[in-house]
Amino acid sequence: MASTLKYVRVPPNSANLEEARKRVFEFFKTACRSIPTIMDIYILDDVAKPSELRSTVASEIRKNAHVTDPKVIDMLLFKATEELSNIVEHAKQRHHIIGQYVVGRQGLTQDLGIKDQGNSNFLKNFYSGNYF
């Protein structure tokens, strides 16, 4: 029922960094274009806004922004495409999407806390537990 992505083929290896970069941006556009379908499949209207999902995808990609090896980027793109096609063809369920992409580590309210900013490592570790 769900539209399978047209790009789910093993892409040839990127020759250099620019080609890998181009591929990353193509992937990002594909993902953003499938967001309305995803929201329809998993009924995320009350839980998330499309802009929030877009920024989540962007932050996931940005997490690997430090990678420079084209082969590694290809591998990451392969996994990302696989994940996206899983989501689009309804192989996952609503709670997976909500837990992995809507809700962050600290709960529904994503606090990139200013309260922990000036603290030393010691204090940060102290607040999390006794053994550090």
**Which residues contribute to the site for other proteins (CB under 8 A)?**
115, 119-123, 126-127, 130-131
**Residue 106 C-beta: closest distance to other proteins, Å:** 14
CA angle 81, 87, 91 (to 5 degrees): 115
**Residue number, 3 or 131, with CB nearest to other proteins:** 131
The one-character DSSP state at 93 is -
**Residue 123 C-beta: closest distance to other proteins, Å:** 5
The one-character DSSP state at 81 is H
**Residue 129 C-beta: closest distance to other proteins, Å:** 8
**Residue number, 59 or 119, with CB nearest to other proteins:** 119
Neighbours of 73 (CB within 10 A): 19
**Residue number, 7 or 126, with CB nearest to other proteins:** 126
**Residue number, 95 or 122, with CB nearest to other proteins:** 122
Q: Which long-range contacts (CB under 8 A, 24 or more apart) does 5-9 make?
A: 5/30, 5/34, 5/81, 5/84, 5/85, 5/88, 7/81, 8/81, 8/82, 8/85
**Residue 124 C-beta: closest distance to other proteins, Å:** 10
